Chains A and B, each alone.
Chain A
Amino acid sequence: DAGVIQSPRHEVTEMGQEVTLRCKPISGHNSLFWYRQTMMRGLELLIYFNNNVPIDDSGMPEDRFSAKMPNASFSTLKIQPSEPRDSAVYFCASSLGGYGEKLFFGSGTQLSVL
């Protein structure tokens, strides 16, 4: 079991550029989550998919952020245009779904927007 795979591991970009973060959940998992972690705000849930359908995107900061899950094995989080305040570690997590199921996290993408 390869676990949740995220890419890239690190991303450095300039303000205004488009950034795409990628996630491959664990095979068979039907729930996928995108989190953002910063020192100031801690761990924030951005969006949650169940069976590839976005269920709750209330945590997405603004229209510059978008997320897709075209199939059960792939999801993207896009920021366009990026801003320095978007600098954070972005985590993807997956689970089997259902009440109380544990989440499996990827290693995260460290994003720096200059």
Chain B
Amino acid sequence: GDSVTQMEGPVTLSEEAFLTINCTYTATGYPSLFWYVQYPGEGLQLLLKATKADDKGSNKGFEATYRKETTSFHLEKGSVQVSDSAVYFCALSGDAGNMLTFGGGTRLMVKP
């Protein structure tokens, strides 16, 4: 079945550092890929998505490119802020429809 693997956290960075959170997936067909973010005490919210190979999703300075050849969807940001501290989830929506399969989540801590 479908699965998503993320790098384990926590990831601790200083403000203005470059961020990469790795995500790889296993799925049949052509899934849509997502990054969701969960701030403390809140539910998940969509950060960005890509629906086909080579698409780049972007939002709030974050980017991720759908790489079918490496089955990856790594999240990047050029300069993180303290306010980016949260848990980030990679997810996919496969041929079964809009059910999402989530990765285990990666906690990001940004220090001033």
Q: Which residues of A contact B (CB under 8 A)?
A: 4, 31, 33, 42-43, 45, 48, 56, 91, 93, 95, 97-108
Contacts and interface: CB of A to CB of B under 8 A. Distances in A.
Classify chain B: how many residues form its interface, as a range.
20 to 34
Contacts, number: 54
Interface of B: 32, 34, 36, 41-46, 49, 51, 89, 93, 97-100, 102-105
A95 B44 CA distance: 13
22 contacts: A42-B102, A42-B104, A43-B44, A43-B89, A43-B102, A43-B104, A45-B99, A45-B100, A97-B97, A97-B98, A99-B32, A99-B93, A99-B98, A100-B93, A101-B98, A102-B34, A103-B36, A103-B44, A104-B45, A107-B41, A107-B42, A107-B43
Contacts of A99: 32, 93, 97-98
Contacts of B43: 4, 91, 93, 105-108
